[in-house]
Amino acid sequence: MKNILVPTDFSEEAKNALEVAVEIVKLSLGKITLLHVVDIPAPASPVNLVGDYITTIPDNLYLEQITENAKARVREIVTNPAFEGINLSERIVLGNIYSSIELETEENQIDLIVMGSKGTSGLGEFLIGSNTEKVVRRVKCPVLTIKRKASVFAIKDIVFATNLADDQGLVLNQVKMFQKLFGSIIHILKVNTPDSFEETKSINKRMHDFVQRYQLENYTLNTYNSKVTEDGIINFAEEINANLIAMGTHGRSGIAHLISGSIAEDVVNHATRMVLTIKMNK
């Protein structure tokens, strides 16, 4: 977690994300890049209803104006005395938000994205999803999603939601880094649902095998019964007042995503606590 990217749209959620990133680099002695993407929309159609050519691509003067305005706002954040002593730099790029963030992570070897999110629900979620959800799906590095400002920042209790499969190595490496950095307890969580019900004896054996396989320390073992996996994860985290939910994601897209969806993305959208998502097939 030496190289952290914080995308900003100057919202309150983005401000909260930057504050969390600052707390992380204070301990990891890393650096933060504050990224603002000047989003350039693609033309929806070459002609309008009466046959006239149209475009939604802004002209050069408009782009220059909004870019200069963005530079000023980012510079104001970076030079804030509150961040004195923090290795904090800025980047302004033009393009599509999700593609730009993905490119930044690959070209600059980003270890972690810390990103604010409002979350989504209902019809809006079905149609477009949240910005953060799309980033979670696309990028290869871990994404820490921040929903709200914490009065006192701490990551003492981490809920690690898992199906106890043997493909969790990459995910747990990242979770253990957070644990070491913050001195956290990892609460291993298996949600038991009617569709994939498993007897307690079987779960307990698999949990102990899981802990031995990945050499975990300072942990608890937990089974939570719920009709829906996402609800079980969120409700358990609420009940123990966890600071962070951590989980792996396959990052499926296209038809595969439409068919199976993503538990991780649903938790990112609906949880009010911090959520750390990590690609399982990096």
Whether 31 and 117 share a structural domain: yes
Q: Is residue 116, in this structure, part of any structural domain at all?
A: yes
What range does the domain containing 275 cover? 154-282
Q: Is residue 97, in this structure, part of any structural domain at all?
A: yes
C-alpha–C-alpha distance, residues 206 and 138, integer Å:
31
Domain final residue, candidates 107, 124, 149: 149
Q: Is residue 50, in this structure, part of any structural domain at all?
A: no
Whether 264 and 226 share a structural domain: yes
Q: CA-CA-CA-CA torsion for 47, 53, 55, 58, nearest 10 degrees?
A: -170
Whether 20 and 112 share a structural domain: yes
pLDDT for position 88: 96
Question: In what helix (H) or strand (E) does residue 265 lie, and over which residues does it extend?
Answer: helix 263-270
C-alpha–C-alpha distance, residues 122 and 130, integer Å:
12
Whether 1 and 140 share a structural domain: yes
C-alpha–C-alpha distance, residues 127 and 218, integer Å:
41
Contact (CB, 8 A) for 20 and 153:
yes
Residue given tokens 């038991």 in the structure block: 192
C-alpha–C-alpha distance, residues 46 and 56, integer Å:
9
Q: Is residue 49, in this structure, part of any structural domain at all?
A: no
pLDDT for position 211: 94
- If one counts the domains in the chain, the total is 2
Whether 145 and 76 share a structural domain: yes
pLDDT for position 56: 54
**Residues of the chain under the 50 pLDDT cut:** 50-51, 53, 121-129, 254-261
CATH number at residue 228: 3.40.50.620
Domain final residue, candidates 119, 149, 179: 149
Q: Which two tokens stand for residue 153?
A: 């920042």
Whether 20 and 140 share a structural domain: yes
Q: Is residue 163, in this structure, part of any structural domain at all?
A: yes
Among candidates 185, 175, 183, 184, which has minimal Cα distance to 278?
A: 175
Residue given tokens 């979670």 in the structure block: 136
Whether 250 and 178 share a structural domain: yes
CA of 110: how far to CAs of 117, 143, 229, in Å?
Answer: 19, 10, 30
Q: For residue range 223-281, list pLDDT tens digits in order.
A: 999 999 999 999 999 999 999 999 998 765 543 333 334 788 889 989 999 999 999 86
Domain final residue, candidates 99, 127, 149: 149
Whether 140 and 240 share a structural domain: no
Whether 197 and 243 share a structural domain: yes
Whether 123 and 191 share a structural domain: no
pLDDT for position 130: 63
Whether 89 and 159 share a structural domain: no
